[in-house]
Each structure stands twice: as C-alpha cells, then as structure tokens.
Chains A and B, each alone.
Chain A
Amino acid sequence: MFCIGIYSSLKKTGELNLYSSLQEEKLNIKPGSNGTNSVKLGKCHLILAQKKIKNKQMKSLFNYIKEVIYAFVSLAKGLLLTLRYFITIKKVNITEEYPNNRTTTISVKERFYGEVVLPHNENNEHKCTACTLCQMACPNNSIQIISKQIETEDGKKKRVLDKWVYHLDSCTFCYQCIDACPQDAIEMKNSFELSVYDRTKLIYQLNRPGSKLKEKPTVKEQQS
C-alpha cells in the first residue's frame, strides 16, 4: 500500500515519467560528437539525481517501518522483563520482611558496617597492642584506649591494653579505625540491631576481662 502511494505521488509530480524517458535516452548514448555527448552526460547526472530522490523517499519509508518494528521489539523486551519478575516473584524478590524474619531467613551482607568488635581467640587473647592509632584516626572520639604499665618476667616494663572503650553513641561507622589498625586487631561486624533505651548503655568495653595480648611467635619459633 505504501509503495502504491509513493508510486502515484511520483507519477503525479511527473518525476517518474521524466525518469523513464531519461532512462530510454541513456540506453541510446553512443560515442559520437562531443557536444551531444556532453548534453547526454548532463542528462545522465539528472537521472542519477532522480534516482537519488527516489532512493531517499524509499529510504525514509523504510526507516519509518524500521522504527515501528524496532519500537515494538524494544517495548516487548521491557514487557518480557517485567513479566518474568511478575511470574517468578517468589524467587527474585529481594524484600526482607524484617521484623517477621529476624530470627529465621534474614540475610545481611558481610560488607555491612554494623559495630566495631575486638575479636578474641579461644585462649582469651586479642591482638591489640594499645598503640592508640585507632583512637587518633577516629574523627569523633568514639574510641578511648586506656593502657597500663606492667612488668614482664624478665623485669622489662611494658605498656598493655587495660580498657578498649567504644562509644557506640557517637560512632558514625566510618571504618577509619579498622583502616588505621596496624595489627588488624579490630573489625566490623554486620550486626545492626544496636538500639537501646538508655544511651549510657551504648558505651562498651571491647576487651574481655582477663584477656591479654596474643604473643607473636618469636624468630626462633618461626624458623623451627
């Protein structure tokens, strides 16, 4: 139908007639006198121009149809995506129904910054050397390292951790203390249910009572 429309419009403007008559002349071009040839060559250019016009119209029509088809294809892609979600909602849904599933299926990513913890091993040993780098790195003074002097067996005086005080009420969970720690003594847990009714309860002592620094293996031990 489109082609018929284009054909008739071309016919109406006389372009098609001109085109066909010129086409006939084009076939009659023979090597002859230069003058006539040059005229005919000019006519040849005209033919090419006419052809271009026709091509342009065909091309725009082609582009129109292509646009419509492309539009439908791309819309169908979107529709299929949402239909897939609609059908497989039980699998693809990522909503946590939080208060209902807090004890069952809840999953919080490991990378979530919850609270700072000082891990202890089974011998009640931690890795904190009380260097206070975390305290200095903390932008809002949430960390307070209280150290004490002790005397070791061989009579040396040594500074060890007494209290690792963590003020959760002012912590912004910025992770800078963990970055600053040279011993990797502290880390962040993904626990998030941290609210309490009294803000004085938000001050924690992270090192357990009676815990001590985990001794590093000496050079001799490492070699053996």
Chain B
Amino acid sequence: MISMIEFTDITAWIHSLLLSVLTPTWTYIVELALSGVTALVVLLVCVIIMVYMERKVAGFMQLRWGPNRVGPYGIFQVIADVIKLLLKESFSPNRADKVMFNIAPALALCVSLMALAPISWAPGLTMWDTNIGILFITAISSMGVIGILMAGWSSNNKYSLIGAMRSGAQIVSYELSAGLSIITAVALAGTLSTNGIIQSQADGWWILKGQIPAIIAFLIYVIASTAECNRAPFDLAEAESELTAGYHTEYAGMQFGIFYLNEYINMAIVSIIASTLFLGGWMPFHLPFDYPVVQTFNHIMDFIPTWMWFFGKMFLIIFFMMWFRWTFPRLRIDQLLKLEWKYLLPISIVNLLFAAVIIVLHWHL
C-alpha cells in the first residue's frame, strides 16, 4: 500500500543516513539547509504551476485559449519567460537610492519566505513545530509591505511612491479583518500551533464544524488575504492604468522577476494558511458524525494521500483568488478603505462574538 509510506519515514531515513556519515552537529546543519532548500524547491514548482494556471484561467475566463505556442498547450511558456527575465539587464535609475533599490526585492522575498517556517506540510513534516505558529505568521505577513514601501520610496518616481503608499494603507487595513478571522479559527481550535489546529480537525474541517461563523470567517479571510497579496480586485499598488506598474515600475530583469515571484509565493502561503485554518490542511475530508456509513466514508477518504489533500486545497483557494481576479473590476482607493472599515471589520467583530458564543456553549460539532 502506497499510503503506508509516510513523510516521517523518509525524514527519519535521511536523518539516520546523515548520522551514519556526519557528526550530530553537522547533521543538524545539513538537515536545516536541506529542509529549507526542499521547501523552496517545492514552492518554486508550485509557483511555476500557478503562473501557468493563472494565464490559462485568465484566458478561459475571457474566452481565449491562453498560452498555446511554447510546447504542448503552452506548458513551457513560463520557462521561456523566466529565461527572458534572467537574460535581461537589471539596472537602477539615476538618483535612485541604489542600496535600498537593490535590497528591496530580496527583502520582500525574505519576508514572505519567513512565513513558511511554521507551516505543516504533512503529518510530522514541519520545519519549525512551534506552539505559536499562527501568531508568527500573522506577525510576518504584515511585514511584506516593508519591501514594497522600500521599492516605491527608493525608485525616485512618484508613481512608485503612490503605489507603495496605497499598498501600505491597504495592508494595514486588511490585516485587521484577516487577523480577526484567524482568531475565529484559533478560538475554535483552541491552539496557535499549526499542527495542533490541523489535528483538531481530524473529525471534520472547521468550515463544517464551526457552523456559520466559520464560513463567514473563511469568506472574510479569503477577501482580506486577496487584498494583502495586492491582487486584483485590490491591486491598487500596481494599478497599471493609473500608475504604470506601481511600486515595481523601475525594476527590470530578475529584480522584477523576484517581485513577480513574491506575489505568487504570498498567494501560496495565504492559501496554505486558509486551508490549514478552515479546510484542515493535510487532513482528509472527514464528516463529524458517528454512523457506520460515515465511518466507512471517512476511512475511504484516508486512502487519498495527505500531500494530495494539502496541494489540492491550496490550489483550490488559489483558483478562488484567480477567479476573483478575472471577474471583478478594480476598486477605487476610497471604496477599498470603505469595504474594510465599514463592512469587513464590523462584520468580523460581530462574527467573532458569535463564534465565541458558539464555542462557550459547545454548539460546534
């Protein structure tokens, strides 16, 4: 049976293999490097799939075919684009703050990669299994704006600066309702650890067990996280019709490529968190009832490997975000702030109260 081989077995095997060759200290260092590189490679593969998926989804939703020239069904389009970006010159404009200008993309990427640490990829496969994983992620995810602000400020270009400032206002606003909906899920699970949250959904995902508040919190989280990723319809930071390209107007070549990569990595992380909190991460789909039929169903679901559940849910939420992007028109800046402060924030506060009532009275399944 394939499902008998778990990721923990593989990691244990690698650990014993390294221990037989190296000293314990070196084993630890090599394992750290190995886990980081593995996570990065997995994420980069996901990003390549996401870029291709985005262009195909965009095409299909606008009655086009999408890329279909490079390779069968255009699957090598992304690779061609990356080669083009790598071969282009990266230069900084005159009178730009050169150091900050060159640091900004790397910093933005670093910040978004930091959020990977406490993510639980599979049972027993967490880089940093801490008891404050979700708190760490909430703290880090609002730091992403630093790179954008730095890029906008150092470009010596008013469009870039306007874009960066808008992005700042947007992320500061939407951080609140995203945080409140995270708190709803955390309150339901009763723990901040990512592994703990996923374990608490062993008999059903929170979106099913948590009743209406969980559904509302999930919706609000998806909306707010779309805004946090600066994606359409909230892509005011790079509103191309007004600001050319916003904060990355002056960037070329792979420096632009890193910002592009950063957007997709952020999307991946946000959807991983959403799936961890509300859709049970790598946990198979279980129903929270005690009938024999349901138990059989739950058992059948266990046969689907956990990595399939993990990436399936991740790409489902990514598809939602792409779906929003290619359906809704861009909001104006006042509409953006109105949506957050007049609608999402009050609704999420009231929703949190409802969730608290449900938790206190043990009405959740």
CB within 8 Å of B: which residues of A?
A: 1-2, 68, 75, 78-79, 81-83, 85-86, 89, 92-95, 97
Name the CB-closest residue of A to B350. Answer: A1
Consensus secondary structure, chain B interface: helix
Name the CB-closest residue of B to A86. Answer: B60
Distance, CA A195 to CA B65, complexed state (A) = 27
Q: Which of B323, B350, B353 contacts A83 (CB 8 A)?
A: B323
Chain A residues positioned under 8 Å from B63 (CB to CB)? 85, 89, 92-95
* B 301-354 contacts with A by CB, 8 A: 323-324, 326-328, 343, 347, 350, 353-354
Distance, CA A86 to CA B57, complexed state (A) = 7
Contact B65 A93 (CB under 8 A): yes
Contact A89 B60 (CB under 8 A): yes
Chain A residues positioned under 8 Å from B362 (CB to CB)? none
* B 36-91 contacts with A by CB, 8 A: 57, 60-65
Q: 15 A-B Cβ contacts within 8 A?
A: A1-B353, A78-B327, A78-B328, A79-B323, A82-B61, A82-B323, A82-B327, A83-B323, A85-B60, A85-B61, A85-B62, A92-B63, A93-B64, A94-B63, A95-B65
Chain A residues positioned under 8 Å from B347 (CB to CB)? 68
Rounded to whole Å, the gap between the CB of B38 and the closest CB of chain A is 33
Chain B residues positioned under 8 Å from A92 (CB to CB)? 63
Chain A residues positioned under 8 Å from B353 (CB to CB)? 1
Chain B residues positioned under 8 Å from A85 (CB to CB)? 60-63
Nearest 3 A/B pairs, CB to CB: A82-B61, A89-B60, A82-B327
Interface centre among B63, B328, B353, B354 (most CB of A within 10 A): B63
Distance, CA A94 to CA B57, complexed state (A) = 16
Distance, CA A83 to CA B57, complexed state (A) = 10
Interface centre among B61, B328, B353 (most CB of A within 10 A): B61
Distance, CA A79 to CA B219, complexed state (A) = 14
Distance, CA A79 to CA B57, complexed state (A) = 13
Interface centre among B327, B328, B350 (most CB of A within 10 A): B327
Interface centre among A79, A83, A92 (most CB of B within 10 A): A79
Contact B61 A86 (CB under 8 A): yes
Chain B residues positioned under 8 Å from A93 (CB to CB)? 63-65
Contact A95 B60 (CB under 8 A): no
Chain B residues positioned under 8 Å from A75 (CB to CB)? 327-328
Rounded to whole Å, the gap between the CB of A5 and the closest CB of chain B is 9
Chain A residues positioned under 8 Å from B323 (CB to CB)? 79, 82-83, 86
Name the CB-closest residue of A to B347. Answer: A68
Name the CB-closest residue of B to A2. Answer: B350
Contact B343 A68 (CB under 8 A): yes
Rounded to whole Å, the gap between the CB of A53 and the closest CB of chain B is 21
Chain B residues positioned under 8 Å from A81 (CB to CB)? 327
Q: Which of B65, B327, B354 contacts A97 (CB 8 A)?
A: B65
Chain A residues positioned under 8 Å from B324 (CB to CB)? 79
Rounded to whole Å, the gap between the CB of A78 and the closest CB of chain B is 5
Contact B326 A82 (CB under 8 A): yes
Other 10 A-B pairs with CB < 8 A, given A68-B347, A79-B324 = A2-B350, A68-B343, A78-B328, A79-B323, A79-B327, A81-B327, A83-B323, A86-B323, A94-B63, A95-B65
Rounded to whole Å, the gap between the CB of A44 and the closest CB of chain B is 36
Name the CB-closest residue of A to B66. Answer: A89
Distance, CA A142 to CA B200, complexed state (A) = 80
Chain A residues positioned under 8 Å from B354 (CB to CB)? 1
Chain A residues positioned under 8 Å from B57 (CB to CB)? 86
Name the CB-closest residue of A to B64. Answer: A95
Rounded to whole Å, the gap between the CB of B140 and the closest CB of chain A is 30
Chain B residues positioned under 8 Å from A89 (CB to CB)? 60, 63
